[in-house]
């Protein structure tokens, strides 16, 4: 009996060593692929930090930060428009994220272009930099990072994480897809149509904003799952092809390490008290309600601990 037990003991170190080599090799492969992908995503902008901040955000100290997500609908021969503009503030201490969608037709100053126009035109005039500067000016608060997402390609990200689950509040049809009220599991193509629907929604652009939040939250949640880890190459490839950001590789690693719990609680804020106004030859603009704008900004600043 003792000899048999000794043989079993001798086998275990070899089994553990083999498992260690496999896991270590997988971790190394993932790290190499991740490094390459994040470097492809990195696109610096012409500033080191927001002029509305006295000090740079330090991720190791778990300081809150903000990010602007630009969902860009690019067409061939056209620089595109940022049809989706979402500002997110992330607070790891409170383990929460706040987000607000800014109506794309918002009438405001286009910083660097010398005009008052629809906010989503800033991207066509000056890309990520002008969009960032214009949103920061509108909200009068620091925007630390910006991410440009190709909305056509975003469906690849949804597919790469194995689809997402959302809770739909109404029956509607969009792009030949029928969306029933209740909990739905969406593919990438379905998710893109789900967030694009606006005309049938009695809440208009605000209903669309809520669907955008659901999709983003679904990707964040599904992205942490085991199935997504198994499909990591597909996830990395989809991200690298469709996302550009001024957040560096080291900063992304720090956020993943220190801020992941903040994705568990996402609160949606709204701009809904503004009014429509036609100007400049009948063009429709969204005019912000100044009191509501200030309330939202104050909430975001408080979340940033400013």
Residue-level pLDDT at 197: 81
Three-state DSSP class for residue 114: coil
The percentage of residues in the chain with a pLDDT greater than 90, rounded to a whole number, is 25
268-301: pLDDT as tens digits: 888 989 998 898 888 899 999 999 999 999 999 9
Average pLDDT of the chain to the nearest whole number:
79
Alpha-helical runs (H) found in the chain: 2-41, 121-139, 151-160, 188-196, 204-223, 226-230, 232-242, 249-258, 290-303
* Residues whose CB falls within 8 Å of the CB of residue 229, separated by 6 or more in sequence, listed in order: none
pTM higher than 0.75: yes
Q: How far apart are CA 48 and CA 5, in angstroms?
A: 63
Q: How far apart are CA 297 and CA 299, in angstroms?
A: 5
11-70: pLDDT as tens digits: 444 444 444 433 443 344 445 455 565 666 778 788 878 889 888 898 889 999 999 988
């Amino acid at each position: 009996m003792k000899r048999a037990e000794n043989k079993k003991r001798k086998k275990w170190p070899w089994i553990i060593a083999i498992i260690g080599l496999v896991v270590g090799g997988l971790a190394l492969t993932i790290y190499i692929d991740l490094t390459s992908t994040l470097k492809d995503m990195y696109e610096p902008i012409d500033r080191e930090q927001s002029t509305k901040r006295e000090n740079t955000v330090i991720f190791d100290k778990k300081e809150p930060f903000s990010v602007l997500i630009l969902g860009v609908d690019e067409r061939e021969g056209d620089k595109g428009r940022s049809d989706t503009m979402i500002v997110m503030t992330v607070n790891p201490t409170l383990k929460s994220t706040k987000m607000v969608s800014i109506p794309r037709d918002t009438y405001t100053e286009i910083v660097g272009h010398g005009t008052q126009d629809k906010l989503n035109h800033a991207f066509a005039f000056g890309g990520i930099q002008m969009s960032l500067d214009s949103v920061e000016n509108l909200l009068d608060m620091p925007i630390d990072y910006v991410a440009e997402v190709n909305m056509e390609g975003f469906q690849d990200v949804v597919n790469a994480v194995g689809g997402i689950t959302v809770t739909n509040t109404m029956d509607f049809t969009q792009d030949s897809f029928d969306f029933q009220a209740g909990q739905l599991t969406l593919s990438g193509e379905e998710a893109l149509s789900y967030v694009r629907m606006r005309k049938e929604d009695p809440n208009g652009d605000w209903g669309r904003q809520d669907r955008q939040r659901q999709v983003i939250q679904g990707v964040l949640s599904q992205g942490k799952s085991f199935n997504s880890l198994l499909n990591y190459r597909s996830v990395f490839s989809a991200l690298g092809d469709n996302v550009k950001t001024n957040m560096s590789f080291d900063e992304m690693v720090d956020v993943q390490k220190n801020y992941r719990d903040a994705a568990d609680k996402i609160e949606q804020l709204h701009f809904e008290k503004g009014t429509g106004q036609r100007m400049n030859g009948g063009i429709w603009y969204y005019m912000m309600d100044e009191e509501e704008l200030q309330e939202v900004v104050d909430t975001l600043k408080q979340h940033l601990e400013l």
